[in-house]
Amino acid sequence: MKNRFTAILSLLFIAGILGLIYLLMMPQWVSTDDALLSEYSTKRALEKVKVISENPHFVGSGNHKMVGEYLVKELQKMGLETQIQEGTTLSDWGNLTKSKNILARIKGSNSSKALLLLSHYDSAPHSYSHGASDDASGIATILEGVRAFLENKTPHKNDIIILFSDAEELGLNGAALFVTQSNWAKEVGLVLNFEARGSAGPSYMLMEVNKGNANMVKEFTAANPSYPVSNSLMYSIYKMLPNDTDLTVFREQGKIQGFNFAFIDNHFNYHTAQDDIAHLSPKTMAHQGTYLVPLLNYFSNSDLSSLQSGDDYVYFNTPFNFVSYPFSWVFPMVMIAVFLFLFLVFIGLGKRVLVFSEIGKGFLIFLGALLVSGITAFFGWKLLLKIYPQYNDILQGFTYNGHDYIGAFVFLSLAISLLFYSNSNSENKTENYSVAPLFIWILINFAIAFYLPGAGFFIIPLFFSLFMLAYFVTTQKTNPILNLILSIPSLIILVPFIIMFPIGLGLKILTGSAVLTVLVFGLLLPTFGSFPRKGFWALVLFLISIGFFIKASFNSGYAIGMAKPNSLLYVYNADSKKAVWTTYDINLDPWTKLYLGENPKDASELNQNPLFSKYKSGFTYSVEANVIDLGEPTISFLKDSIAGSQHYYKIKIKPNRQVNRYDVFANENMTFYNLKANGATALDQKGSLYERKGKKLVSYYVVDNEPLELQFSIPITDVFDMDLMESSFDLVSNPKFRIAKRLPWMMPMPFVLNDAVVIQKRIVPSNGIRKTENLKSRNLTPKDSLTVNIDTLITK
């Protein structure tokens, strides 16, 4: 290879390999023809997504019922008998609702344990999500997969249960109902759950296991899906994040293991009005199908009773296969790398091809590149948030132009790295400099072996870079072609993480991408370091980076299909008889300003009883509004009596309008025992104490306008101090308000109670009459009765 072509050919080679990795990761092509009925067809699956996601179908909405009926019909069309499981559950974090699971069962010839295919059919409330990705995509994948399976009369030993669960979005209530109350749950050996946290990109396999993953990894490998995308590091990270899915309930409550298949790219569409069929990537849909078909065939015939394991495996995918090996190999592999490294350095020093002073300089250069790239990305992103304050509107933390920023910072980091190495103009220097990144990678792998063995496979690229050094030390030459070939494992194993980290965890960790870029650059140093005219190439990469920044800047605003999330609520306080408009928005826009005006007040007073929201959003601004007659709820105390040291209550809250949600708050000093909400006790409750965090007692998502009945006792020494928020999600459609339509480049903000008409009301125990009667019946003296009444007065 001629020297002046080295750089361009190397860059082309690297780009080619990366392109291949990208193309081979998931299906790249979706047929628009009608496939044979015996085949799984993404096109047919997408047609079902279209029907289900026609309209938002959150629990309690009319469309939710219609979707349920449609799914029953679809299952019956395939000749399956359906069952409806209906019941009220109260999730561990206080979310109450009545859910309706849709079930069907296909008998196997000799079942060991049943295989459960799972997906939820409710869409997210509050934000007009059409639920195309989340989770019509999963439902449709299962419907189409089972259809083809039955069409082929595929022989199978195990029973197959189909569960279209309800109320996943509210608190995994449907899954909880199935796991705790269905007899079928006890027979389930494995769950395949199809989910979404975005609307595009590859679907990742994420395991939920009780202890070790070894048998699950082996069985997944044996099932042999065409495009497995997964690795044990992602599983470790997934475990640390608050991303609960229905499968979590299966694992925690039922000790049942399973595989999640979830796509996460284009996070900005998640739970928004943009989660519609137009934004769902067909390739992603096809990817879900490539998991379901082979796994359904395999697991409907395999032994599902032996998937538990005490051991853990490291695993990762390559474009060609799915690799796995025991956790117990991680540390020995690190030790082998240490010895190999020390041996090579020793030989190199002995042969005088490695020199201490040059190795030392290599450390300064490499750490400099790492530091400067990391700091640039860290403060760069902070600066961008100042220049474009609208980025804060997107709570998911990944902006519409987020991919451009990943490109921008990756190329910037490469440019910085090349600049740092611009004085390494000989092979010899470059090889001396490559000792530093190898050493840093050994340290990283040491840390991984002890703290994050799931990332144990990060040692593999290091071995290949050690081989580059080995070749140099033994021959005193470098071979550019060999170096490029030895760089392939780094490209396959490490580069995807540079992109995946910010897509998965948000742009706030762009610094991580920048640092990882330099670390990978370090492993490929024998290639990059051999570039002549590094200053020139740094400039080229820098210009590419600038190009990405410019592109991002052009797409920094809002547009149709890339809408600004905003929020508006009308809150009426039934005690003070005052009303306000309020919002969660940081940046008001022409629509919110119509109601909040130019100078709204701070809304912190409204946050005294904080409503749950994923990103802990509170109300930001409020302004006084006209009082509109709404019909406040009737709160009646069906029971209000004392026995021993406990005060017993039964409270019924009945709506006097169409409502969707009740939030009940109680002073943190109140301790609740034996709490039942519409007859349900908390899922995780042990003993009689009702555990809660903060002031929230219960959030009830109303179905069919059914009242809320709360039953509990509190110690008589506790002061009764409770509040109610009653919400309907109809602010925009309610004729009493005549709210202007949002502009086409706006949409309701997700993850918060939005577009709602809210009535706040104190929950105040009835007057002393019933209480006195109770006291009389228990032969208490008037003095006792007086104390109790004074208590009641104080609480008012």
Positions in the binding site for Zn ion (CB under 5 A): 134-135
Taking the least distance from each CB to Zn ion, the nearer of 198 and 374 is 198
| Closest distance to Zn ion from the beta carbon of 164 (Å) | 12
Taking the least distance from each CB to Zn ion, the nearer of 194 and 439 is 194
Taking the least distance from each CB to Zn ion, the nearer of 79 and 242 is 242
List the structure tokens of 157.
Answer: 């030993």
Closest residue (Cβ) to Zn ion? 134
Q: CA-CA distance, 753 to 584, in Å (whole number)?
A: 9
| Closest distance to Zn ion from the beta carbon of 761 (Å) | 33
Strands 746-748 and 564-566: parallel
Q: CA-CA distance, 462 to 344, in Å (whole number)?
A: 14
Taking the least distance from each CB to Zn ion, the nearer of 135 and 589 is 135
> What is the total residue count of the chain?
796
Q: Tell how far CA 196 is from the center of its chain.
A: 8
In three-state secondary structure terms, 392 is helix
The amino acid occupying position 336 is: I
Angle, CA of 102, 103 and 107, to the nearest 5°: 165
Taking the least distance from each CB to Zn ion, the nearer of 134 and 252 is 134
Contacts 24+ apart (CB under 8 A), 494-500: 494/458, 494/461, 494/519, 494/520, 494/523, 495/18, 495/21, 495/520, 496/21, 496/25, 497/233, 498/406, 498/410, 499/406, 499/410, 500/234
Taking the least distance from each CB to Zn ion, the nearer of 167 and 579 is 167
Taking the least distance from each CB to Zn ion, the nearer of 134 and 718 is 134
| Closest distance to Zn ion from the beta carbon of 506 (Å) | 19
Taking the least distance from each CB to Zn ion, the nearer of 134 and 640 is 134
Taking the least distance from each CB to Zn ion, the nearer of 134 and 721 is 134
Taking the least distance from each CB to Zn ion, the nearer of 243 and 390 is 243
* Radius of gyration over every alpha carbon of the chain, rounded to an integer in angstroms: 30
In three-state secondary structure terms, 612 is coil
Contacts 24+ apart (CB under 8 A), 441-444: 441/465, 441/519, 441/522, 441/523, 442/334, 442/337, 442/338, 442/341, 444/519
Query: Are 455 and 234 spatial neighbours (Cβ–Cβ below 8 Å)?
Result: no
Taking the least distance from each CB to Zn ion, the nearer of 122 and 718 is 122
| Closest distance to Zn ion from the beta carbon of 120 (Å) | 6
| Closest distance to Zn ion from the beta carbon of 127 (Å) | 13
| Cis-peptide into 312, omega within 30 deg | no
Q: CA-CA distance, 567 to 750, in Å (whole number)?
A: 9
Helix (H) or strand (E) holding 362: helix 356-387
Query: Are 692 and 94 spatial neighbours (Cβ–Cβ below 8 Å)?
Result: yes
**Contacts with 71 (C-beta within 8 Å, 6 or more apart), sequence order:** 52, 102, 121, 139, 143, 164
Q: CA-CA distance, 221 to 478, in Å (whole number)?
A: 38
Residue 382 Cα distances to 370, 506, 511, 615, 794, angstroms:
18, 13, 11, 19, 50
Taking the least distance from each CB to Zn ion, the nearer of 158 and 288 is 288
Q: Tell how far CA 565 is from the center of its chain.
A: 19
Q: CA-CA distance, 445 to 128, in Å (whole number)?
A: 46
632: burial class by Cβ within 10 Å (0-12, 13-18, 19+)? middle
In three-state secondary structure terms, 390 is helix
Taking the least distance from each CB to Zn ion, the nearer of 166 and 640 is 166
| Closest distance to Zn ion from the beta carbon of 169 (Å) | 6
List the structure tokens of 279.
Answer: 């934004």
Query: Are 584 and 749 spatial neighbours (Cβ–Cβ below 8 Å)?
Result: yes
| Closest distance to Zn ion from the beta carbon of 124 (Å) | 8
| Closest distance to Zn ion from the beta carbon of 137 (Å) | 9
Query: Are 130 and 277 spatial neighbours (Cβ–Cβ below 8 Å)?
Result: yes
Query: Are 87 and 99 spatial neighbours (Cβ–Cβ below 8 Å)?
Result: yes
Taking the least distance from each CB to Zn ion, the nearer of 74 and 134 is 134
Taking the least distance from each CB to Zn ion, the nearer of 198 and 454 is 198
In three-state secondary structure terms, 460 is helix
**Contacts with 347 (C-beta within 8 Å, 6 or more apart), sequence order:** 473, 474
Q: CA-CA distance, 403 to 559, in Å (whole number)?
A: 17
Taking the least distance from each CB to Zn ion, the nearer of 54 and 244 is 244
